[in-house]
Structure 1
Amino acid sequence: GMQELKRPFNALDDGTRVQLQGLQKKPEMNGNMGIIEGYDHKTGRYVVKDIENQASYKLKMANLQQIVPGAKITGMTSSQEFNGTKGTVIGYMGSKGRYWFRLPRHIKKKPAAVRPANVILPASTVVRLIGLTKAPQLNGKWARIKEFDQSSGRYVVQISAQKSAKLKLENVVASSN
């Protein structure tokens, strides 16, 4: 049969949960939850199953907000009691530079607005690079977290098929906006 093309290193994995956003032609679908079911190499679009209507669509990364479970709060000075708590990134406010972060309900009922600098994303999360001054050519590019290096407080991030770099928490976001 046909040889399966290898998905790019920085593409979302099948099974990733996403929320649909910024759809102009089908605005009624914005806010719906979906699941990645495939990747179209020709167009660079994802096959996404809309959980609300069970239909599948080919969508651009810009129209998907990853839902990232297993993220951890770190380095908070004001709300120190949250440090070390695991939760889920459910959105990102690009204008404010804050994640919407859902903590366990017994800790906080409403999602908290948390800076990327205070969130450790799990390994293999696909992220966009931002605010890099020494390598500005990488800003806006998609990459993938390999691990969080405890000793340096930085991520080891795969930035190309061959190369990795150590980056600060605030220089990666799990969001396209």
Structure 2
Amino acid sequence: VIIRGLEKAKENNGKIARVLRFDEQRGRYDVQLETEAATVLAVRPQSLTQQTSVEVVGLENKPELNGNTGDIYNYDESAGRYLVLLQNPPTAVSLQRGSCLLRPGTPVVLTGLGKQQFNGQMAQIVSVDRPAARYVVRCQSGSEIKVKFENVLC
């Protein structure tokens, strides 16, 4: 994972870490910094970006990129975009969340939903409804809901 958005320990933003465990009582992940094995931080899910594979979908300005796969290597919170390294050809691109199709099983944080009670909740992608551009996610509470691709943050 990549650490981002920390206010108190800003020097750790942008660093790569490994998830050790999730502490349900505190609602935080314990992560170990890659370069400093002795350093373990307790971080909110919203302050982590997973380095995971995605498929590019729904691009209108560069339709030739649709169907390409790549790996998320960071998230630009101010722009609301993932930074993705595409595989063929090897190219770094900045993509909106709705243009990055995540795989079932990916843990996510819900954001930007009309039903406020779900925003900020952790969930897991159960399935993908491509024609509707929606994920079916299982929330922390156990309920399953459909959300737009852009309403999850990995």
TM range (shorter): 0.7 to 0.9
Conserved in 2, the CA contact under 8 Å of 1:20 and 1:63?
Answer: no
Instruction: Give CA-to-partner distance per residue, 1:61-106, whole Å, 9 cap, x none.
Output: 2574222322110011111111111111222223222111121273
Computing the radius of gyration from Cα coordinates, the structure with the larger value is: 1
Conserved in 1, the CA contact under 8 Å of 2:68 and 2:88?
Answer: no
Distance 1:41 1:128 in 2: 15
1:55 aligns with 2:38: yes
1:86 aligns with 2:39: no
| Percent of aligned positions that are identical | 29
Conserved in 2, the CA contact under 8 Å of 1:73 and 1:86?
Answer: yes
Give the paired residue count: 154
**Higher relative contact order, chain-length normalized (CA < 8 Å, sep 6+):** 1
Compared CA separation, residues 52 and 163, structure 1 to 2 (3 A): same
1:132 aligns with 2:105: no
Could you list the runs of 5+ residues in structure 1 that have no partner in the other structure? 1-17
- CA RMSD in angstroms comes to 2.3
Could you list the runs of 5+ residues in structure 2 that have no partner in the other structure? none
Q: So what's the TM-score if we normalise by structure 1? A: 0.74
User: Which of 27, 49, 56 is equivalent to 1:73?
Assistant: 56
Compared CA separation, residues 130 and 45, structure 1 to 2 (3 A): closer
Distance 1:63 1:160 in 2: 15
Higher percent of residues as strand? 2
